[in-house]
Amino acid sequence: MVSGSGICAKRVVVDARHHMLGRLASVLAKELLNGQKVVVVRCEEICISGGLVRQKMKYMRFLRKRMNTKPSHGPIHFRAPAKILWRTIRGMIPHKTKRGAAALARLKAYEGVPAPYDKTKRMVIPDALKVLRLQKGHKYCLLGRLSSEVGWNYYDTIKELEKKRKERAQVAYERRKQLAKLRVKAEKAAEERLGPQLEIIAPINRAASCQIVVDHSGHGNFSSIQSAIDNIPSNNKNWVCIFIKAGIYREKVRIPYEKPFIILKGVGKRKTQIIWDDHESLAASPTFASFADNVVVKCMSFVNSYNSPRSDNKNPRMPAVAAMVAGDKTAFYRCGFSGVQDTLWDDQGRHYFDRCTIEGAVDFIFGGGQSIYENCVINVVGSTLQPGLHGFITAQGRTNPNDANGFVFKGGTVIGTGSTLLGRPWRGYARVLFYSVNLTNVVDPKGWEAWNSIGHE
C-alpha cells in the first residue's frame, strides 16, 4: 500500500474531483502495479497547476507534433479528460512489459459518474488533493475546461448530466431523511403501544455473537447441550446465545422455566441433531423440552428414534415425543422435528415456527398452543402405519370456546407417503386453520375426523 493513498479494497472507485493530475497519476500508477483495480470518475474535475491560457498553449504545441517519417499519420492525441489521465498514468508504467500491460488493464477512467458507480462508495486520495498540495495563491485550471478548449465537445453535456445526477441524488437523500423520520415516529408509537414488551424483543438484535460454544468432540466450552444450559444462572434477564456445532448429540435436553432468554443456534437441521429414544409417557419421552419463556431455536433438528429405522422397526407404535414446548414466546427457525406418533407437543403458550420440517404419522402436531406454522414442510410417513389405516397431522387441544389457542398453518406444503387427514380434535373445541398450504394427494379429501364426537368437534 502506498503511504497516504488509503487504498486496500479489492476494487476502489476514486472521485477525481479537485485532485492534482500529476500526483493522482503517480499514486494510481503505483497501486496498479501492486495489483489494485481502480476506477476513476469525474475526470473532468481534475486540476492542473497553472492558468488555463498557459496550459492551452502547451497542449496546442503538443497537438502539433507529428511523425518525421509520415506527418499525416502522426500520433493519436487524446482530448477527453479520462483519456488524458489514462495516458498520463501510462507514461508512469512500463506498459510495454507484461506486468505493465496487466497493470494498465486494471484501470478504468470516466467523465462524470456513470452507473453503477453512482451508487458505489467513492474515495479520495489525500496525497493528491488540491487543497493540500497546491500552494495558496497559485493558479490552476480544470482538465475538463482544458479539454473543451482543445477540441473535446462534450464538456457541456457532461455538466448537464452531472447536474441531473446530483438532482436525483438530492431527491434520494431527502427521501431517506423522510423515511428515517417516519421510522423514529413508528418506533415511538410502537413503544407507547407495546411498552415493556419491546424490552424483551429488542435484545435479540443485540445478540450478534454466541457466548457459549457446544462441541460434542470436546473443542468447545461444553461437550453437551444440557451442561451448557445448566451453566446459565436461574432467572437470567439477558439473552444468552449457545452455538451448537455440527454433530449428533445423543441426550435429552430440558430448558427449565426459571431459565428464559436463551438462543440455541445450530449449523443446520441436517447437521446439528439432538437424538434420544424414549416412549410411552408423554411427560417423560420428549427429546427436547422447553418450559421457559422467551426461547429462540435456529437451524437444528430434534429426533425421537424409538420408531427408527422406520422400514424394519419392530417396536409397537407408541407416543414418542421429539420436542415439547410449554413456554410463552418461543420461536423455531429452520428446525426439524422427526418422529412417528406425537412428534411435536405444542403444549401451551405463543409459538412461531418458520420454514421448519415436521414429520410423523399419527397426531404428530398436537397440544393446546397458540401457534403459527409459516412456510413449513409437513412430511407424512404413512409407511409406518398398517395397511388400510390413515394418519392424522394435528390433534389440537382447545378446551374452552373462549380460549385463544389454535394452530394456523400459513404457506408451506404437505408431502409424504400413505394417506392422512388434516387432523382430529384432541379436545372439544379444537381449532386448526390451513391457509394457502399446498396439499398433495397424500391428504384424504375427507379432510377431518371426529375423535369422541363431544363438544364442538
Q: Enumerate residues 6+ apart whose C-beta is below 8 A from 216.
A: 223, 224, 245, 247, 248, 249
3-state class (DSSP) for residue 256 = coil
Secondary structure (DSSP) of 208-221: -S-SEEE-TTS-SS
Contact 7, 35 (CB under 8 A): no
Helices (H), 77-202: 81-90, 98-105, 130-133, 143-149, 155-194, 197-201
CA distance to 35, 82, 170, per residue, from 43 (Å): 22, 5, 22
Q: Enumerate residues 6+ apart whose C-beta is below 8 A from 200.
A: 294, 329
Whole-angstrom distance, CA of residue 272 vs CA of residue 404: 34
Q: Across the strands, what pairs with 333?
A: 298, 354
Cα 76 from chain centre: 50
Query: In this structure, what is the dihedral angle of CA atoms 24, 27, 28, 33, given to the nearest 10 degrees?
Result: 160
Q: Enumerate residues 6+ apart whose C-beta is below 8 A from 48.
A: 20, 21, 55, 140, 141, 142, 143, 146
Residue with cell 424490552: 199
Contact 109, 67 (CB under 8 A): no
Whole-angstrom distance, CA of residue 301 vs CA of residue 358: 10
Helices (H), 21-154: 21-33, 52-63, 81-90, 98-105, 130-133, 143-149
Known catalytic residue at 230: no
**Could you say which of 127, 363, 403, 444 is catalytic?**
363
Report the catalytic residues.
363
